[in-house]
Chain A
Amino acid sequence: MRTTTATVTIRIPTPLRGFTNNQETVEVSGATVGEALQQLVEQFPRLKPHLFNDEGRLRSFVNIYVGDEDIRYLQREATPLKPGAELSIVPSVAGGGL
């Protein structure tokens, strides 16, 4: 049985836009966070090493939010997505303009 796939928007942060042809948002379809991210890196393969480690797991310094909630406190990559959901990639940034 196939799960229904939803069209969702992924917000790309500035440091990673170099890998998405400077697109600030990318539309993908996916029933879960994992599926949506998989589609994203298939569309932009150069993004992959920045989001996933060699074992294919999400890197620990990349936070993914659905709406305003961290997926670590939902069902991680298995978190289901409703149509129109907004995913944000929020990487750690250190700059202080020193």
Chain B
Amino acid sequence: MPVTTADITLTPEELRRYSRHLILPEVGLEGQKKLKAASVLLVGAGGLGSPLALYLAAAGVGRLGLVDFDVVDETNLQRQVLHGTKDVGRPKLESARDRILDINPYVQVDLYETRLTSENALDIIKEYDLVADGTDNFPTRYLVNDACVLAGKPNVYASIFRFEGQVSVFGTPDGPCYRCLYPEPPPPGLVPSCAEGGVLGVLPGLVGTIQATEVIKMILGIGTPLIGRLLLIDALHMQFRTLKVRKNPECPICGEHRTIHELIDYEQFCGLPGRNGETAAQQTAESAVPEITVHELKARLERGDRPVILDVRKPYEVQIASIGHDLLIPVDELPERLAELEPYRDREIIVYCRSGVRSERATKLLREAGFRDVKNLKGGILAWSQEIDPSIPRY
């Protein structure tokens, strides 16, 4: 990676601070200057963004850009070590900036309190030498990939789920990109998110520090970065494996005859209702399922009007929080356990889960199976806790 260090000097304070790097032959004074001259964009200041920001700041990367629009929430603290208890309710970017500057005041921190979009991605990314992708959703993954390929910036990629992680380096001139590995995203709902599936708190620490290591190696130009290799991390058995990732000659964005020349609508590409456009509206209409709000349900229950209530969460979730149910069938088991619902075929069924995502899937499934009066409880147990009964724990 071309980083010019001609104009870079280190003060006596900086020389002291980085002494353990300076005595490493692979880093040395020249390497430390490269780090100071370098700029890295961190997309997401959450689980992976935390160790990335902490270690890249400590290592002396000269300029860190952070893109995030979230606010620190109590449920973040189990893994997002960039933020503390005192930061709950603050924008993540503010809390991140304070922590980074506390670790290393020599770092310049640029904040982008926005969602990364097709409109702003190229303008933001072009200001940096490389990008570290620590986002949590497929549309942004593909957006970051495409923007990095178009802008010619390496993309140090990582993702996590439960006890497992993946790390690779995409978007280098001769290496593969994310689309070479996964040409298309899975349809929405098929792959659970961390919010749905959970994640071991230390896992983003483990995976994000590997990501940070790759960023530093790329800046210094040392060792063998994970270009053309996908590192699989299994924390439960503590096994690490690497798989080959080939550059796909037919890749639509980095291949020889590429068909994508500008950023597209990634929500639509990932099958989600887009922010604008007719197709998006049509998609919403097609995929919409009947809903009931928590207020409507509460009013009806108070009137003694009692629909059949189906909880589609896992049994262990019921132990954490519940608003009661007539039936408990985890959504993944629903297709084989439809017989249990037969007695209620002619009644109204209200389906709920934690946030309303799994229950939407279940509602769709039941309607396709011929159950006519099925409704999804909008916002799930989280909405119930927020708007009806705060004594129900949110998790």
- B36 touches A (CB below 8 Å): no
Is A93 a contact partner of B166 (Cβ separation < 8 A)? yes
Is A68 a contact partner of B244 (Cβ separation < 8 A)? yes
Nearest-neighbour CB distance to chain B for A11, whole angstroms, equals: 9
Interface stretch, picked from A2-10, A12-20, A33-41, A75-83, is: A12-20
- B197 touches A (CB below 8 Å): yes
Nearest-neighbour CB distance to chain A for B63, whole angstroms, equals: 22
- A95 touches B (CB below 8 Å): yes
Could you say which residues of chain B place their CB within 8 Å of the CB of A96? 44, 46-49, 133-136, 158-160, 194, 204
A63–B183 Cα distance when bound, in Å, is: 10
Is A14 a contact partner of B47 (Cβ separation < 8 A)? no
A63–B230 Cα distance when bound, in Å, is: 12
Within 8 Å by CB of A98, from B47, B141, B181, B241, lies B47
Is B191 a contact partner of A69 (Cβ separation < 8 A)? no
- B245 touches A (CB below 8 Å): yes
Nearest to A61 among chain B residues (CB) is B186
In terms of DSSP, what is the predominant structure of the interface of chain A? mixed
Is B135 a contact partner of A60 (Cβ separation < 8 A)? no
A96–B133 Cα distance when bound, in Å, is: 8
Is A93 a contact partner of B159 (Cβ separation < 8 A)? yes
- Given A18-B332, A46-B336, A97-B204, residue A92 in contact with residue B191 (CB < 8 A): yes
- B371 touches A (CB below 8 Å): no
A88–B166 Cα distance when bound, in Å, is: 14
Could you say which residues of chain B place their CB within 8 Å of the CB of A93? 159-161, 164, 166, 191
How big is chain A's contact interface, by range? Answer: 20 to 34
Within 8 Å by CB of B244, from A19, A46, A69, A94, lies A69
A91–B166 Cα distance when bound, in Å, is: 10
Nearest-neighbour CB distance to chain A for B197, whole angstroms, equals: 7
Nearest to B140 among chain A residues (CB) is A94
Is A14 a contact partner of B162 (Cβ separation < 8 A)? yes
A96–B80 Cα distance when bound, in Å, is: 10
Is B186 a contact partner of A92 (Cβ separation < 8 A)? yes
A19–B230 Cα distance when bound, in Å, is: 25
Nearest to B207 among chain A residues (CB) is A97
Could you say which residues of chain A place their CB within 8 Å of the CB of B336? 46
A18–B335 Cα distance when bound, in Å, is: 14
A36–B166 Cα distance when bound, in Å, is: 25
Q: Which of chain B's residues 119-164 have a Cβ closer than 8 Å to chain A?
A: 133-138, 141, 158-164
What would be 12 A-B contacts, judged by CB atoms less than 8 Å apart? A14-B164, A15-B197, A46-B335, A61-B182, A69-B243, A70-B246, A73-B244, A95-B159, A97-B79, A97-B134, A97-B199, A97-B203
> Contact residues of A with B, CB < 8 Å?
13-15, 18-19, 46, 50, 59-61, 63, 65, 68-70, 72-73, 88, 90-98
